[in-house]
Amino acid sequence: MPIVAFYSNNSNPDLQNQWENRLQAHYPEISLVPLFSDQAESAITALLWKAPLERVNTLKNLKVLISLGQGVDHILKDNIIDNEIPVVRIVDTFMAKSMSHWVAMSVLNFIRDTFGYYNQQKNKTYKPRKEINFTTLKIAVYGVGEIGSVVVKDLKQLGFKVYGWSRTKKNIAGIDCFIGEDKFKYLLKSCDIHICLLPLTIQTNNIFNNSTFKIMKHGSCFINAGRGEQVVEEDLIENCQSGHISLAILDVYRVEPLPKNSRLWEQENIKIWPHVAAETNPETAAKQIANAIKCIENGKIPPNTIERKLGY
């Protein structure tokens, strides 16, 4: 019987049981045990989301770590986990489409000034507001991997001029995709909406800061559903206060949950979402997690095993 150590953001027994039932539908022998239990000592697999890595590191029989989400930075942070232990992430078409819906909604809210209309309603003001011409608008998506590639395609289908930027060259039909620092600056200068979907790595940490915000056009929109550590939050606040960034829509933060004393809450043109743009869908993720566990049991490398040197 495959014993899997389980932890999901201060998980409770009900959540663990729900995941065990879903996984057993695809692999009946699976048994989930709490990360801090004695049974976890014999686990060869750990299924994790934002787990205490010091505890994970004490489990000497582990052969693989599986992230309960697309991101793996919560496992790789501080280099606590042995580099020899494979890390597997979820790659889910449901998550990709969910992210695409959230991004499209955010873009449309900016173009149609949705929040301006909401404020007018409070004052019973009935008048049209300025609409941005979407035919001349340029959108940059930073990070066009498994999720970002879906986002750029869907934005193009809506009639937008969309550009992609990533660490390695991507070939996406109908989309101009760029690599390198020079092209990064080119997109910062030339685009009106900037969407961060990058994985968190040493290179992308703090990539959006005062210098990069200043390169953007005055009145740009900034949308982040990548990772909070990619944005210097005080720099974003400063540029939103000045109006250089006219609207920021955020789903991720350096500290989560976002502290009540964070200045991000106070800025009217910064809109807060609680890391829900693309949540893991248990029904669609369970099959691939169960398959990954089967692979480990049979001495095979699971699909979607990350490259540790790249961080994703």
Q: How confident is the model at residue 189 (pLDDT cuts 50, 70, 90)?
A: very high
Least confident range from 8-22, 194-208, 248-262: namely 8-22
Please compute the mean of the pLDDT values over residues 90-103 and round it to a whole number.
Answer: 94
| pLDDT score of 11 more than 80 | no
Domains and CATH numbers, the chain: 3-92+280-297 (3.40.50.720), 93-272 (3.40.50.720)
| pLDDT score of 10 more than 80 | no
pLDDT at 92: 87
| pLDDT score of 135 more than 90 | yes
What is the chain's mean pLDDT, rounded? 95
pLDDT at 197: 98
pLDDT at 206: 98
pLDDT at 110: 98
| pLDDT score of 148 more than 90 | yes
Tokens of 193: 């909406």
DSSP labels for 55-85?
HHTT-TT--EEEESSS--HHHHGGG-S-TTS
Q: Quick check: 195 and 151 in contact, CB under 8 A? A: yes
Long-range contacts of 298-304 (CB under 8 A, 24+ apart): 301/86, 302/64, 302/66, 302/86, 302/88, 303/88, 303/91, 304/88, 304/89, 304/90, 304/91
Tokens of 249: 């829509």
Please compute the mean of the pLDDT values over residues 278-296 and round it to a whole number.
Answer: 91
pLDDT at 39: 97
pLDDT at 112: 97
pLDDT tens string 224-283: 999 999 999 999 999 999 999 999 999 999 999 999 999 999 999 999 999 999 988 888
pLDDT at 12: 82
Residue type at 141?
V
pLDDT tens string 26-68: 999 999 999 999 999 999 999 999 999 999 999 999 999 999 9
Share of the chain above pLDDT 90, in %: 89
pLDDT tens string 98-127: 999 999 999 999 999 999 999 999 999 999
